Amino acid sequence: MANDKPNQPQDESRRRFLKYSGTALGGVVLGGVIGGLVGANVKQTDKDETAEPGKSGTAAENKDYNQALMFFSQDQFTTAEAAAERIFPADDSGPGAKELGVAFFMDHQMVSQYGYNARDYMLPPYYKAEETQGYQLIFKRNELILLGLEAMNQYSNTKYQKPFAEIAPEEQDAVLTAFEKNETGIKDFPATNFFAMFLNLTMEGAYADPLYGGNRNMAGWKMRNFPGNQMSYTDYIEKEEFVKLEPLSLHDHLELG
């Protein structure tokens, strides 16, 4: 009957998990798996996998084939990348949205369940909402973002005679501010909703697990000293001093066949 207990290791996958978790689970005898497996070291990050392009190896080896577009057009991508970089710019603390791959993250998210609002309540009727009632538009996120990027270029073309990606950084900030405050003068466009979503996506792209295409090389996490995906902090939780750990990602926890 022991195998009926779902909280006990019953198969290879549980054993592997415990091995990679690198944790000491006290003296518990978990379905007969003791010592040896529990407490093994966490798999080390493979240096080559995280190396920056061009730094080592041939260009072809280091090409990130995930950096391609599922949803945006080239222009939409360029606009999104430029806007995200102003929201989360490169500075002395580390890379900005562009280097982190935030626009690729956005692109990929737009064809996910999130972009299609697949798990949101989308049934009619639609009415104008009070602020306390939240998002009430028939528009899906991946429709809203395209409309928003287009509106940014339209606004920028009118005001500066150039598309958004080509105007000066201060001008880009002025455009973004106009959207944030809903002062674009563009009729029937929910600029504030768009901006809030775009801002949110930028933060997600900077800090989500690199598996989603942003937070390249975990550089977003490193800036904040966020250790990412570790299995145990039991040994550190009482420590007075700040503990810096090399971050780990979900990739480091997957056993490849």
In the window 134-153, what residues touch another protein (CB under 8 A)?
A: 134-136
Least distance in angstroms from the C-beta of 42 to another protein: 12
| Residue 101 interacts with another protein (CB under 8 A): yes or no | no
Per CB under 8 A, 66 contacts another protein = no
Number of residues that bind another protein (CB under 8 A): 80
Decide: is 72 part of the binding site for another protein (CB under 8 A): no
Classify residue 241 as exposed, middle or buried by CB count within 10 Å of its CB (0-12, 13-18, 19+): exposed
Give the dihedral sign, CA 88/90/93/97. Answer: positive
Is there binding between residue 27 and another protein (CB under 8 A)?
Answer: yes
Residue 99 near another protein by CB under 8 A: no
Backbone angles phi, psi at 60, to 5 degrees: -65, -40
Among 3, 35, 46, 129, the residue binding another protein under the rule CB under 8 A is 129
Residue 254 touches another protein, criterion: CB under 8 A: yes
Q: Alpha helices, DSSP H only, in 97-136?
A: 97-100, 102-110
Asked if 204 interacts with another protein (CB under 8 A), we say yes
Give residues 231-250 in contact with another protein (rule: CB under 8 A): 231-234, 236-240, 242-243, 250
Q: Is 209 in the site for another protein (CB under 8 A)?
A: yes
Decide whether 91 or 188 has the Cβ nearer to another protein: 91
Please give the backbone phi and psi of residue 184, each rounded to the nearest 5 degrees, phi first. Answer: -85, -20
Q: What is the 3-state secondary structure (H, E, C) of 45-96?
A: CCHHHHCCCCCCCCHHHHCCCCCCCCCCCHHHHHHHHHHHHHHCCCECCECC
Residue 120 gets the label, from left (phi > 0), alpha (psi -120 to 50) or beta, of: beta
- Smallest distance from the beta carbon of 47 to another protein, in angstroms? 22
Residue 224 near another protein by CB under 8 A: yes
Dmax of the chain from CA atoms? 74
48 binds another protein (CB under 8 A): no
Is there binding between residue 183 and another protein (CB under 8 A)? no
